Amino acid sequence: MRRYFGTDGVRGVVGEEITVELVERLAKAATLWSGRGRVFVGRDTRASGVELEEAFGRGIAAAGGSAVLAGVLPTPAVALLALDLGVVISASHNPPEYNGVKFFDRDGNKLSDESEEEIEAVLDAPGFDALPLATGSIDRVEVATDSYLEHIVERFGSDLTGLRIAVDCANGAYSEIAPEAFEHLGATVTAIGNEPDGTNINAGCGATDLALLSRTVREHGLDLGVAFDGDGDRVLAVDENGAIVDGDQILAVLALHMEVDLVAVTVMTNLGFHRLMEERGIRVVTTPVGDRYVLEALRRESGGLGGEQSGHVIVLRDHVTGDGLAAALLLCDAIRGRTLAEAVAVMPRYAQVQENVRVSRREVPAAALAEAERLNQSLNGGGRVLVRASGTEPVIRVLGEAKTAAEAERLCGTIAALVRRELG
């Protein structure tokens, strides 16, 4: 069991799980683990990010490494620009009071479980804090944003003249970049969630709350809307009617448009997606929740497209990781000549009901696992239940899926009640 790392890096509430001291120590350990090389560091727009970025830089220098601090930058940009390591100070889609640290290797891959365990071993080794300080360096760069934007527009953009689109930047790292990318390609852009103040990231906007985006599209009569999360590695959409289009649907549209023969998804992916892929002869590889597991599967299977229902979309053509802006640009190209509603209608959707049961310890009760297995056997593919511990929050996540909402509700409620009873 990893002590610090979860599904996506080290994450928690600032001042509680995430402290300046921990971040500085983590930087020192990671730099020692990686051979005291050059570490490229970006952050999202959280107010806490400024202090934590500085702390991470100090830790790198204390270990004898070279810190390159880039300021506010989307996570996929850091992956592209990683040196010996790439690091993002971000809590991604979590509320403003959270922050964290995500790592990429020199090739832009998220670190494996084994690598994270090795860093933890360095961090917890006897005498770690008593190690003599080395003399590293801290530099700051300001051109990273321009380099990233040029790469994405050239490799994933197309002529979007005539497209009317709402772009919700979640008051995060895409607040300036995303609207500029769409405008550069000829779209008429209505930008929202693009005024970060350090306290409003993911707050009532972005991929975690699509109500504002939906309302904006309907009120302005736009063609569609796209929404990113705070650090830019997720994208969701709404169609011309304001209806939500999730990551499964985006992935389905792209899979057919790109004519792939393999796609990697997680256990959360809608059964309707699997049915569509089966009909079209596209092989599906299923992984645990977490975009890094999807990425690992794609590299293992030599695939080029994968993602999560939550909005991580990975296109390995000219990229190394999931990128919300790249996926949004590809989606706009894929629906050319039709509405988004028409494009996603090809995928049947099973009803899904989810519940997060807050717990004091992230451990799924054996009784809940056993009951979930029994239910899944009885459903025989016509529905399912899934219960798992969150990798980023102190909750047990329960999913019920069926052809009807009522049945999905019943399945989810059965397992959630059992978790509460066992852990209450």
**92 is a catalytic site residue:** yes
How far, CA to CA in Å, does 35 sit from each of 21, 102, 118, 119? 22, 18, 13, 12
- Cβ atoms of 23 and 99 closer than 8 Å: no
- Kindly tell me the burial class for residue 409, based on how many C-beta atoms sit within 10 Å of its own C-beta (0-12, 13-18, 19 or more): middle
Indicate whether 18 pLDDT > 70: yes
Short-list 221, 229, 218, 223, CA closest to 168: 229
Structure tokens at 308: 């999560």
CA–CA separation, 233 and 250 (whole Å): 14
- Cβ atoms of 400 and 385 closer than 8 Å: yes
What pLDDT digit, counting tens, does each position of 372-417 carry? 999 999 999 899 999 999 876 789 999 999 999 999 999 999 999 9
What pLDDT digit, counting tens, does each position of 340-360 carry? 999 999 999 999 999 999 988
CA–CA separation, 295 and 407 (whole Å): 33
For position 390, what pLDDT does the model report?
85
pTM: 0.92
The DSSP 8-state label assigned to residue 345 in this structure reads: T
DSSP secondary structure string, 29-58?
HHHHHTTS-EEEEEE-S-THHHHHHHHHHH
For position 424, what pLDDT does the model report?
67
For position 361, what pLDDT does the model report?
79
- Cβ atoms of 168 and 206 closer than 8 Å: yes
For position 360, what pLDDT does the model report?
82
Q: Which range has the worst mean pLDDT, 22-31, 62-71, 354-363? A: 354-363
CA–CA separation, 253 and 262 (whole Å): 14
Tell me if residue 175 falls in helix, strand or coil.
Answer: coil
- Cβ atoms of 251 and 273 closer than 8 Å: yes
What pLDDT digit, counting tens, does each position of 195-218 carry? 999 999 999 999 999 999 999 999
Q: Which domains does the chain have, with CATH numbers?
A: 5-142 (3.40.120.10), 146-344 (3.40.120.10), 351-423 (3.30.310.50)
For position 391, what pLDDT does the model report?
73
- Cβ atoms of 24 and 55 closer than 8 Å: yes
pLDDT band at 365 (very low <50, low <70, confident <90, very high): very high
Amino acid at 27: A
CA–CA separation, 196 and 118 (whole Å): 36
Rounded average pLDDT over 35-56? 98
Q: What is the mean pLDDT of the chain?
A: 96
pLDDT band at 290 (very low <50, low <70, confident <90, very high): confident
For position 8, what pLDDT does the model report?
86
Name the active-site residue from 92, 175, 214, 310: 92
What pLDDT digit, counting tens, does each position of 306-347 carry? 999 999 999 999 999 999 999 999 999 999 999 999 999 999
For position 89, what pLDDT does the model report?
98
Short-list 227, 224, 235, CA closest to 165: 224
Indicate whether 6 pLDDT > 90: no
Per cent of the chain over pLDDT 90 is 92
For position 24, what pLDDT does the model report?
98
